Amino acid sequence: MLQIHCPYCQEYREEEEFSYAGQAHIERPSEPESLTDQEWAQYLFFRKNPRGLHHEMWYHIHGCKQFFNVCRHTVTYQIISSYKIGDRPELEQSKAVDKESINAN
Ligand SMILES: [Zn+2]
């Protein structure tokens, strides 16, 4: 079971207090009517499924009822950081991939 740090409550709580809410940092297109059907479908339905660091949204459903972001390693399940919506993660995904490929060599 994961221990998840809620950046609003400022404490670690059991995973069962939270609900996974999908990939983080998905920006709604500013002019959706100008997109092709394929681009709109990409925005609505397609999500990353990386092997390594993943930025995802969680909802503290049995706590403060706030959404926040978590940076989690999908292989080890280790949570690297949690941060409020609107904040930037400590590790960006592209840097994390570089770091992982360096460690693999
Ligand atoms: Zn909370």
Q: Is the pLDDT of residue 104 over 70?
A: no
In whole angstroms, what is the distance from residue 69 CA to residue 29 CA? 20
CA 99 / ligand 1 centre spacing (Å): 30
Exposure string of 27-47, with b = 16+ CB inside 10 Å and e = fewer, is eeeeeeeeeeeeeeeeeeeee
At 88, is the pLDDT very low, low, confident or very high (cuts 50, 70, 90)?
confident
Distance 61 CA to ligand 1 centre (A): 8
Q: Average pLDDT in the 75-92 region?
A: 90
Rounded average pLDDT over 53-82: 96
Domains of the chain are 3-25+44-104 (3.30.2270.10)
Which residue type sits at 68?
F
**pLDDT confidence tier of residue 93, bands split at 50, 70 and 90:** low
Taking the centre of ligand 1 as the mean of its atom positions, its distance from the CA of residue 36, in whole angstroms, is 38
Distance of CA 65 from the midpoint of ligand 1 (Å): 6
pTM: 0.80
Residue 72 in this model has a pLDDT that exceeds 50: yes
- Percent of the chain whose pLDDT exceeds 90: 81
Tell me, in angstroms, the distance from the centre of ligand 1 to residue 8's CA.
Answer: 5
Given a cut of 60, whether residue 98 has pLDDT beyond it is: no
CA 42 to centroid of ligand 1, rounded, Å = 31
